[in-house]
Amino acid sequence: MIQILQSIPTILMIVAPILITAIGGMICERSGVVNIALEGLMGLGGCATAAAQTLLETSGMSNNLSVALALLIGAAVGCLFSIIHAVAAINLNADQTISGTGINLLATGVTIFASQILFNADRTKEFRLGMHTDALGVYPSVYIAAIVVILSWFILYKLPFGMHLRACGEHPAAAESVGINVRKIRYIAVLTSGLLGGLAGGCVVLTQTIQYTSATINGRGFIALAAVSFGRWTPLGVTGASLLFGTAQAFTVIATNFPSLKSIPTEVFNIFPYLITLIALVLFSGKNYAPASDGKPYVKGAS
């Protein structure tokens, strides 16, 4: 029992970035745009945050300030690159899956390219200290995730803007016909998902490692994507799904707390989150709950 309680902060640490990204993905899809570039956006944010933290640290800035600033930079970079997807999906009615994949490929290249230019290596230079935990052993990223979830719920269901956004994902023609600017709202949604993805990538780097490499994100963005559909596109559902997938992923780390699991090779635990996600998708295919116009390019004037 104690081991389980001991493991909770670790689980929360791993869940937080997945949850933040998933909420971003949920908002994006609720507005009608599918964003499979979450993986790449997390990578870009993570790389930017890691680089920023290293550079700010060496410049002598205090840890709290440098962490905050580095996170902001990561979020901004994620937001910036998501503009590509927004333009492609919203202005040019491009195939959203292809454009998202393109950004993922681009991210692989840009992140390491930047590292080569900045640090002459295929990874960022290590920083000394990332985020630190509070008295309960919980990282600030967990609180950030909680705030993001609550905010998203409030905006989506309590504000007129949220009602408009959800309408854009269900029936953009209906929204347009009552004067809602579908393009503008979708832009905001895509850029938000980029911002949150970048932020989440930064959280990964600052809580789970000391630098960014090509293996840092390792599929978290796709797990977040699966959490969106498994969680049926609602804040509560997505939170639950992220908890489930994050816990599965945490096993590689918390396994050391349980002596009976120590002898099993780490690879078995590595497979866990991906296997659980796959099984979850097959058993609980939530396609009927997707926003009705999810992923369909909106052509003005169509009925």
Partner 1 sequence: MADVNEQKAPKVGLGKKLLESDGFVSLLVVLLGFLVGTILVALVGRKPANMYKAIWQALTGYNMDNGKMNVRYVFETINYSVPYILCGLSMGFAERVGLFNIGGEGQYIMGMTIAQVFALLGPQIPVLHWVLCIVLAILVGAIWGGVVGVMKAKYEVSEVVSTIMLNYIALYLSRIICFQLPGATTYKTANFPKTALLSNGFFERMTNGSLLNNGWFFMIASVILFWFIMEKTRLGYGMRATGFNKDAARSSGIPVVKSIAVAMAISGAFAGLAGGIVALGSFKYGRIISGMDNYGFDGIAVALVGNCTGGGTLVAGYLFGLLKNAQALMQSKQIPKEITYIIQGLIVVFIALRTGLKLLEERIEKKRLAKEVTTK
Partner 2 sequence: MAGQYAIEMQGITKTFPGIIANDNVTLNVKEGEILALLGENGAGKSTLMSILFGAYSADSGTIKIHGNEEHIKNPNVATDLGIGMVHQHFKLVQNYTVTENIVLGMEPTRHGMLDLPSAEKKVAKLSALYGLRVDPKALIEDITVGMQQRVEILKVLYRDANIIIFDEPTAVLTPQEIDELMEIIRRLKKEGKTIVLITHKLKEIKAVGDRCTVLRRGKVVGTVDVADVSEQDLAEMMVGRAVKFELDKAPCHLGKVMLSVKDVQINDALGNPKVHDLSFDVHEGEILGIAGVDGNGQSELLYGLTGLLPVQSGAIMLDGKDITHQEIRQRIEAGMGHIPEDRQKHGLISEFSISENCAVKNYYLPPLSSKHGILDFSLMRKNADRLIKEFDIRCGEGAATTAGSLSGGNQQKVIVAREISLSPKVLLVAQPTRGLDVGAIEYIRRRILDERDKGRAILLVSFELDEIMNLCDRIATISKGTIVGTYKSGEVTEREIGLMMAGSKKEGA
Least distance in angstroms from the C-beta of 164 to partner 2:
7
CB 140 within 8 A of CB 134: yes
User: Alpha-carbon distance 38 to 93, whole Å?
Assistant: 19
Give the binding range for partner 1 (CB under 8 A) out of 48-56, 107-115, 144-152, 198-206: 107-115
- Asked if residue 303 binds partner 2 (CB under 8 A), the reply is yes
Interface size with partner 1, residues (CB under 8 A): 48
Residue 234, phi-psi category: left (phi > 0), alpha (psi -120 to 50), beta (remainder): beta
**Number of neighbouring beta carbons within 10 Å of residue 178:** 8
What count of other Cβ atoms lies within 10 Å of the Cβ of residue 98?
11
Q: Using CB under 8 A, which of the segments 28-36, 143-151, 176-184, 186-194 binds partner 2?
A: 176-184
**Per-residue string for binding with partner 2, 256-295, x by CB under 8 A?**
--------------------------------x---x---
Contact between 180 and partner 2 by CB under 8 A: the answer reads yes
- Which of partner 1, partner 2, none does residue 126 bind (CB under 5 to 8 Å by kind)? none
Long-range contacts of 149-154 (CB under 8 A, 24+ apart): 149/19, 149/23, 149/235, 149/238, 149/239, 152/23, 152/26, 152/27, 152/235, 153/235, 153/236
Chain positions contacting partner 1, by CB under 8 A: 36, 84, 88, 91-95, 97-99, 101-110, 112-113, 116-117, 122, 214-215, 218-219, 222, 225-226, 229, 265, 267-268, 270-271, 274-275, 277-278, 281-282, 285, 287, 297
